[in-house]
Amino acid sequence: MPLADVFTLHGQRSASSDPADERAFFLDALAEYQWARDAAGLMPGTIDKLVKPVIELCDHYATVPWRIEPKHLDRYFAGVGKRARSTVRAKITNIDGFYAFLEQRYAGEISRLFGATVESPVDPFNRPRHRGDFGLRVPPSQRAMTDFFVRWREALPTARKEAVACRDYVMAKIAYLSGVRASELCGVRISDVHWESGQWGRFIVEGKGARGSGPRQREAFLFQQGRELLWWYVEEVRGMFRDDPEHPLAPLFPSERVPGAVAALNMPISPAIVPATFRRALKAASRLHLPGPVAELYPHLLRHACATHNYERGKTLWEVQRLLGHEWTTTTVRYLATAQADPEQACREAAGRAVQRLVSDAGSLR
């Protein structure tokens, strides 16, 4: 329910047993919950995700939240509402959040008007167990990633669609070098690449906002390898697609397919590749060219590999955090769960640096 479509607020109400009155009260409370989350700075899309499972559950049972019991929640998510574990967990968490709002602001009024007690149907028995990242993401080793990209590039000239294969290869390697998400990479336009920025150039991405606050622009890094690779792609490959690469809105990584509506309008640019297409291409390439125990690659595993390998090569936690565009260091730490850190070696190196400083200070006093 869009916020702009809601015009009613709670007024002075009298006790009622009419289901229509309960329904009206629920809709008003739902609207005020949306306003509260909007005031907290959440984006409209995030707010929609918060209220949608509440509406689905109530519509399924044709009732209001304070008439729903834990057994109703169990039956719904074991039946028609059954989805992937992560989806169910997110929905139940959002439902529980709405009940917390309802209990704190309107429990007394609901009890007075409808004689009902507001209590969340999420109890200790059906509450999803929090398992963090739902499993440890183990990226390939640095050597395996190097071999993977060497083998993939050697196979490009024999690809059935060379331009498409080159596009997918460049996207994968840029994602690995820069640590950007698939959705961020797919949205990059040619005009978003700033070759003069920093030492090797950077590009602008629409990053993921923290805590549902919506996308935020940030600079992603190319580094020397990425700059050389992207320059080759722009100069040799990008012009092989059927749109105008000189257009200011042209995507850096276009789709090979031009939708009928776009073709009919004779538009100068193609739509950008979508993350699902990139995911399929990366999966297929990894099955063919990736050595080692990791069977398949997917875009977010490239992001984990970027973080882990840069940390193993000596970048500090803060530098990896900035590379990934994280707001919180605690988020970055989860990406380094498989980093091959050696505390004993670090201790020896720290002691060596301390000795060097003492020797240097003693020499300067002479």
Angle CA(344)–CA(349)–CA(351) in degrees, nearest 5?
95
pLDDT at position 134 is 43
Rama region for 127: left / alpha / beta (φ>0; ψ in -120 to 50; rest): beta
Which pLDDT tens digit goes with each residue over 23-39?
Answer: 999 999 999 999 999 89
2-11, 211-220, 330-339: least confidently modelled range: 2-11
Q: What are phi and psi of 194, to 5 degrees?
A: -115, 95
Averaged pLDDT of the chain: 86
Of the pLDDT bands very low, low, confident and very high (cuts 50, 70, 90), residue 185 is: very high
User: What was the pLDDT predicted at 262?
Assistant: 47
Per-residue pLDDT, 347: 64
How many Cβ atoms from other residues are within 10 Å of residue 45's Cβ?
A: 10
**Triad 162, 168, 170: Cα angle to 5°:** 100
Strand order in the sheet with 216-221: 193-194, 202-207, 216-221
What distance lies between CA 106 and its chain's CA centroid?
A: 34
Segment 12-20 shows an average pLDDT of 70
The 10s digit of each residue's pLDDT in 315-326 is 999 999 999 999
DSSP H or E run through 11: none
DSSP state of 243: S
Question: What is the Cα–Cα distance from 272 to 319, expressed in whole angstroms?
Answer: 30
Residue 151 has pLDDT above 80, yes or no: yes
**pLDDT interval class at 133 (50, 70, 90):** very low
| pLDDT band per the 50, 70, 90 thresholds, residue 269 | confident
Which single residue is written with the structure tokens 């529980």? 96
User: Does 195 score more than 80 pLDDT?
Assistant: yes
Question: Do the Cβ atoms of 340 and 312 come closer than 8 Å?
Answer: yes
pLDDT at 47 over 50: yes
pLDDT at 263 over 60: no
Query: What mean pLDDT comes out for the span 348-355?
Result: 70
Residue 12 has pLDDT above 80, yes or no: no
CA-based torsion, 60, 65, 68, 73: positive or negative: positive
Segment 65-99, tens digit of pLDDT: 999 999 999 999 999 999 988 889 999 999 999 99
Q: Quickly count: other Cβ atoms within 10 Å of residue 231's Cβ.
A: 14
Answer yes or no: is pLDDT of 341 > 90: no
Which range of 13-27, 210-224, 225-239, 334-348 scores highest in mean pLDDT? It is: 225-239
**Domains defined for the chain, CATH in brackets:** 3-114 (1.10.150), 142-297 (1.10.443.10)
As a whole number of angstroms, the distance between CA 359 and CA 78 comes to: 69
CA distance 230 to 275: 19
Q: For residue 284, what are the CA distances in angstroms to 280, 281, 346?
A: 6, 5, 39
- Rounded Cα distance, 8 and 64, in Å: 18
% of the chain residues with pLDDT over 90: 65
Q: What is the pLDDT of residue 364?
A: 63
**For the chain, how many residues are written?**
366
**Quick one: what percent of the chain has pLDDT higher than 70?**
84
Q: Which two tokens stand for residue 329?
A: 């260091």
pLDDT the model gives residue 3: 45
H-run or E-run covering 86: helix 85-114
Mean pLDDT over residues 145-151, rounded?
A: 97
Predicted confidence at residue 176, as pLDDT, reads 98
- Cα 132 to Cα 26, 136, 270: the distances in Å are 33, 9, 39
Q: Could you give the CA distance from residue 120 to residue 99 in angstroms, rounded to a whole number?
A: 5
Which has the closest alpha carbon to 188: 145, 244, 250?
Answer: 250
Q: Give the integer Cα–Cα distance in Å for 181 and 352.
A: 39
- Stretch 222-235: mean pLDDT: 97
DSSP character string of 266-321: T-SSPPBPPHHHHHHHHHHHHHHH--SS-----HHHHHHHHHHHHHHTT--HHHHH
The arithmetic mean of pLDDT across residues 272-297, rounded, is 95
Over residues 196-219, mean pLDDT: 81
